[in-house]
Amino acid sequence: MASQRRGAFIVLEGLDRSGKSTQAAALVSRLKTINGENSAKLMKFPDRTTTIGKMIDAYLRSQNELDDHTIHLLFSANRWELVSAINADLAAGITIVCDRYAFSGCAFSAAKGLPYDWCIAPDKGLPEPDLTVFLDLTPAVAKLRGGYGEERYEKEELQRKVRVLFHSIGKQMKGGKWQEIDASSSIEEVEKAIWKHVEPFSDGCTSSINGLW
Ligand code: DGP
Ligand code: NA
Ligand code: NA
């Protein structure tokens, strides 16, 4: 008997303006074209629609001030509040494409100066993605793209630190679960590079989901 297939849990990470949202939407469309309308779902963190998400949104738009530790825990709580939905979708065979996840949580807060070990602790035990694709772009190039600078973290110096942290987080991810691609090329080229890594997961997975980290 074939083992039970579940959906794959795919995460796209990157700096602000790296093209994650565009690519996540394109990837979901592609998976739906292959496997049907109900086979894939787009998720995004922070999910600004929940009660916690609304606090995060206000913070990012500089409408409230929160201690660095407090906002870090809210970002993490925003992921935890969606864990049961993630697990239910994966078990139902739905592949999740997620725009940012715990790697952003750690990279951004550590870039602000919080200790790395403290940053990873609250996300310990979250469902581990089967694959994370990091859309790599220099902050200088990201800055040239439209819309940069509107939100709290969209500053070149901070983004430089975030990029260094993303690279070191990636080095600690074993078994090919972290893949980096050059996000400076055209939308079509980036789409192709992402698909090369995602295609092996397009039928879902049979392994059970582990916990981070
Ligand atoms: P986005 O909606 O993808 O543009 O993300 C909003 C901003 O919040 C972006 O600058 C990245 C940052 N961010 C995303 N997740 C986290 C997190 O868990 N912790 C912290 N400190 N920042 C995050
Ligand atoms: Na942003
Ligand atoms: Na985005």
Q: Sketch out the chain's domains with CATH numbers.
A: 9-201 (3.40.50.300)
Ligand 1 atom nearest the C-alpha of 68 is 21
In this structure, the residue with its CA closest to atom 18 of ligand 1 is 105
The helix (run of H) or strand (run of E) holding residue 99 is strand 95-99
96 forms beta bridges with 9, 41
Which run of H or of E encompasses 9?
strand 9-14
Is residue 99 within 8 Å of 23, Cβ to Cβ? no
From residue 18, give the alpha-carbon distance in Å to each of 64, 96, 137, 139, 159: 26, 20, 6, 9, 11
Phi, psi of 42 (to 5 degrees): -95, 130
- With a Cβ cut-off of 6 Å, ligand 1 is lined by 16, 45-46, 60, 72, 75, 100, 104-105, 108-109, 151, 153
Give the Å distance between the CA of 17 and the centre of ligand 2: 7
pTM of this prediction?
0.96
- pLDDT tens digits, one per residue of 143-202: 888 777 679 999 999 999 999 999 999 999 988 999 999 999 999 999 999 999 999 999
Please report the ipTM that was assigned to this predicted complex. Answer: 0.91
User: Which of 66, 72, 75 is the pocket-test mutation for ligand 1 (most atoms within 8 Å of CB)?
Assistant: 75
